[in-house]
Amino acid sequence: MTTDNNHIDENLLLEDERIANYLKGKMAAEEEQAFLADLQADPELKAQAVAMARMVKGMKEVGTAYDEELKGEFLAADADEVGVVAKDVSTAKKSGKVISWRETVTWLSAAASVALLIWAGIGYNDYRTTTGLGDQYAMVFTSSGITKGADTPTEVETKLTKLFDNVVNDRELKATLHDLTLCWELSTQETYNDYTDFAPEIGWNLAIGHLKSNDRKQAKAVLEKLTTIAPSGTAIGAKARELLKKVEEL
């Protein structure tokens, strides 16, 4: 992280964005590797990432009844701090006092904290709404119903059952979404294959997984495609249309 005073505020916000993308699992593999390498090489960035991760985790664990109250307390406290520091900086500038780089960093860090909390607060409301929708619809269909006739589950059925269970129980979501995406692509190919008959179930669970990962855009894309292959008269087709409408209204 650079120490150039002219760019430090911009760099802080850029690093916040990188950390946020990492926490949301929105980094490509190469980008993630580069970020993790930067964390090891830059103690300040690592501390910043740890602080954000703890805050987001803490907010996620707070009950709905306390969300607004807690967020307001955080914002009010940091806003007051920034106001005091900003006033001191302004007074010092008018009097000709030389402001040290450390004082500037403290002020900018406080300002960045407010920006981060605003991002986390507003974004967290969206997060709760989106992931809550995923949780609400996760149990509509169970993985036990995917066996297509044979007494002994096939290798594909066993694999999909595990992936669907991972989605329902929030286990290894990043890896599960990767595998389900590949299964979805195979199941929707024009050429018949081992995954074709499971396309509706795969699409449904992939959409739910994206919602649980707070990725509304990807969930919407999957649901839109799912509604083209699952007739409205079927259970999954009807629920897919219902869920798509709710996602579009978010």
Average pLDDT, the chain: 74
Contact between 205 and 179 under an 8 Å Cβ cutoff? The reply is no
129 and 144 housed in the same domain:
no
Evaluate whether residue 3 is within a structural domain. no
Q: How confident is the model over 65-111, as pLDDT tens digits? A: 444 454 454 445 444 444 444 444 445 444 555 444 344 444 444 44
Contact between 131 and 173 under an 8 Å Cβ cutoff? The reply is no
Evaluate whether residue 2 is within a structural domain. no
Query: CA-CA-CA-CA torsion for 64, 217, 118, 71, nearest 10 degrees?
Result: 0
Closest among 121, 6, 16 to 62, alpha carbons compared: 121
3-state DSSP of 88-149: HHHHHHHHCCCCCHHHHHHHHHHHHHHHHHHHHHHHHHHHHHHHHHHHHHHCCCCHHHCCCC
Of 110, 134, 158, the position where a domain reaches its end is 134
Kindly state the tokens that stand for 92: 């010092």
Q: How far apart are CA 99 and CA 90, in angstroms?
A: 10
118 and 155 housed in the same domain:
no
Of 112, 134, 156, the position where a domain reaches its end is 134
Evaluate whether residue 13 is within a structural domain. yes
38 and 70 housed in the same domain:
yes
Q: Which domain holds residue 129?
A: 8-134
Band (pLDDT 50/70/90 cuts) for residue 40 is confident
Number of domains in the chain: 2
29 and 106 housed in the same domain:
yes
Identity of the residue numbered 108: L
36 and 144 housed in the same domain:
no
15 and 130 housed in the same domain:
yes
28 and 127 housed in the same domain:
yes
150 or 153, greater pLDDT: 153
Q: pTM of the full predicted structure? A: 0.55
Q: How confident is the model over 13-37, as pLDDT tens digits? A: 677 778 877 777 777 888 888 888 8
Evaluate whether residue 58 is within a structural domain. yes
62 and 87 housed in the same domain:
yes
Evaluate whether residue 68 is within a structural domain. yes
CATH number at residue 170: 1.25.40
Kindly state the tokens that stand for 165: 């269970």
